[in-house]
Amino acid sequence: MSLMNNLSTSMISSSSSAFLAPISFNSRTQSVAVPPKIINIVRCVSTPQEQQTTYKTNVSRNANISKLQAGYLFPEVARRRAAHLLKYPNAQVISLGIGDTTEPIPDVITSAMAKRSHGLSTLEGYSGYGAEQGEKALRAALASTFYGNLGIEEDDIFVSDGAKCDISRLQVVFGSNVTMAVQDPSYPAYVDSSVIMGQTGQFQKDVEKYADIEYMRCTPENGFFPDLSTVARTDIIFFCSPNNPTGAAATRDQLTRLVKFAKDNGSIIVYDSAYALYISDDKPRSIFEIPGAKEVAIETASFSKYAGFTGVRLGWTVVPKQLLFSDGFPVAKDFNRIVCTCFNGASNISQAGGLACLSPEGLEAMQEVIGFYKENTKIIVETFNSLGFKVYGGQNAPYVWVHFPGRNSWDVFSEILEKTHIVTTPGSGFGPGGEGFIRVSAFGHRENVLEACRRFKQLYN
């Protein structure tokens, strides 16, 4: 067993450009003394302002980007929050929508980053460009901590500025000619990056789906794991466990079926394990716990939701040597080329923080932070259960998936925001399978979570 599997998560603790705008000038008459015999008459004639013309280049817009619907989900939620604050400037808005962490980074981690930062001001401690794949010590620590007995070596690991960034880099590796499948509902970056790459057809408004994407429906009825017997074969399968937004974590049997499905179809799984340390039961924390996964899977992960690194930016992606394209070429070599071309490596200060996260003291501190958020989750789950709602997730993830049957997700989002000043996330933003749900994030200060739950009870009692 890897150390990761031995970690317990049961611990609970507390422009528009202004300079382009028309400018109005005020004319002022000046008094000028002149000799009495000389009369100068100056006529001020106003000339019509030149008509503004819009210059356009001859470069056509990327047609794939024009396929995207509205804005990316989370900026749209933030936009609506800002509009609400304009309407209610004195409202005490509580944000349980965008999954951004709120609790301070543990001192054992920030101290390491501070030390590395101060070291850059000395000749002995200064360093410039590092290896694009990440510092050797950090890659080795990641391998031993999270993949100790799973056959993953340090050179299979690529350190990055976050899992979301790596998802897009992987899409560049795959190119525009692949087909893809995605859980429905799921984190929107998978679908949006596929659209931008040109892997999809147009958005079909009647079914709220993009053509040429295989949507693997995940519902309460199937335990939020798709019926693979009804899923068409695709080149790439995006899979997140514990899932964002539903909070469901796949069982060992389910992941074994997923790996077999990928092998039978010659597909590649992109497995997002960004919330793996929130798992507190016996469900797998890594796809590589499943025999044969190294031949069909890539895994992305992040420190964002473990150590509060949402702003620090540090993650990693595992691309095993055994994973090969149809012509036998290693996927890792192409990913390495993209990383070296598009990226200069994660910040050396962030990597110092990552190494501190993996020390015994850092691991313990991260568990305390995770335990705090899991306690928030428990409070939210109990609140909605007491109000008679069907509630999912929350046990192995920092998200609570609340069902509002027969209702439009954005309408529920708006109702909650208008009447309680609480920001949630509409389920339909994660795909058509999310309609009728909202996601409530457990990332928040304890007093805010308690106050939000009081307001939920006041609204729905």
Q: Residue 48 domain-assigned?
A: no
For range 91-118, the mean pLDDT: 96
Same-domain check for residues 239 and 281: yes
Q: What pLDDT band is residue 457 in, cutting at 50, 70 and 90?
A: very high
- Domain boundary at 329, 358, 387, which? 358
Q: Residue 262 domain-assigned?
A: yes
- Domain boundary at 309, 333, 358, which? 358
Q: What pLDDT band is residue 10 in, cutting at 50, 70 and 90?
A: very low
Q: What pLDDT band is residue 48 in, cutting at 50, 70 and 90?
A: low
Report DSSP letters for 36-103, one per residue: TT----------PPPPP-----SPPP-TTGGGS-SS-HHHHHHHHHHHHHHHSTT---EE-SS----S
Same-domain check for residues 244 and 353: yes
375 close to 448: Cβ distance less than 8 angstroms: no
For range 106-116, the mean pLDDT: 98
CATH number of the structural domain spanning residue 406: 3.90.1150.10
Give the pLDDT of residue 49.
Answer: 58
Give the pLDDT of residue 67.
Answer: 93
Residue 46 pLDDT greater than 70, yes or no? no
Q: Residue 214 domain-assigned?
A: yes
Lowest mean pLDDT among 18-32, 187-201, 360-374, 417-431: 18-32
Q: Which residue type is seen at 342?
A: C
% pLDDT > 70, the chain: 89
Q: Give 401's contacts (C-beta < 8 A, 6+ positions apart).
A: 245, 246, 247, 391, 392, 393, 394, 427, 437, 438, 439
Give the pLDDT of residue 26.
Answer: 41
Q: What is the residue-averaged pLDDT of the chain?
A: 91
Give the pLDDT of residue 72.
Answer: 77
Q: Which residue type is seen at 35?
A: P
Indicate the SS3 state at residue 248.
Answer: coil
For range 203-224, the mean pLDDT: 96
346 close to 160: Cβ distance less than 8 angstroms: yes
Give the pLDDT of residue 35.
Answer: 46
- Domain boundary at 333, 358, 383, which? 358
Lowest mean pLDDT among 24-38, 193-207, 312-326: 24-38
Same-domain check for residues 165 and 224: yes
- Residue-range definition of the domain harbouring residue 388: 65-104+362-460
Same-domain check for residues 93 and 72: yes
pLDDT single digits (tens) 382-425: 999 999 999 999 999 999 999 999 999 999 999 999 999 999 99
Residue 32 pLDDT greater than 90, yes or no? no
Report the C-alpha dihedral over residues 384, 244, 179, 64, rounded to 10 degrees: 90
Same-domain check for residues 201 and 157: yes
Letter string b/e over residues 258-290, b meaning 16 or more CB atoms within 10 A of that residue's CB = bbebbeebebbbbbbbbbbbbbbeebbbbbbbb
Same-domain check for residues 317 and 266: yes
% pLDDT > 90, the chain: 86
Q: Which of 310, 331, 306, 354 is nearest to 164 (CA)?
A: 310
Q: Residue 277 domain-assigned?
A: yes
pLDDT single digits (tens) 337-365: 999 999 999 999 999 999 999 999 999 99
Residue 27 pLDDT greater than 60, yes or no? no
Q: Give the Cβ contact number of residue 68 at 10 Å.
A: 14
Same-domain check for residues 154 and 273: yes
CA distances from 221 to 57, 70, 224, 364, 392 (A): 52, 30, 7, 37, 12
Report the C-alpha dihedral over residues 245, 246, 252, 254, rounded to 10 degrees: -100
Q: Residue 244 domain-assigned?
A: yes
Q: Residue 25 domain-assigned?
A: no
Same-domain check for residues 159 and 193: yes
pLDDT single digits (tens) 367-378: 999 999 999 999
Same-domain check for residues 226 and 267: yes
pLDDT single digits (tens) 121-170: 999 999 999 999 999 999 999 999 999 999 999 999 999 999 999 999 99
Same-domain check for residues 354 and 370: no
pLDDT single digits (tens) 237-290: 999 999 999 999 999 999 999 999 999 999 999 999 999 999 999 999 999 999
**Total number of domains constituting the chain:** 2
Give the pLDDT of residue 183.
Answer: 98
Q: Residue 424 domain-assigned?
A: yes
Same-domain check for residues 89 and 142: no
Same-domain check for residues 286 and 374: no
Give the pLDDT of residue 9.
Answer: 41
Q: Which residue has the higher pLDDT, 114 or 12?
A: 114
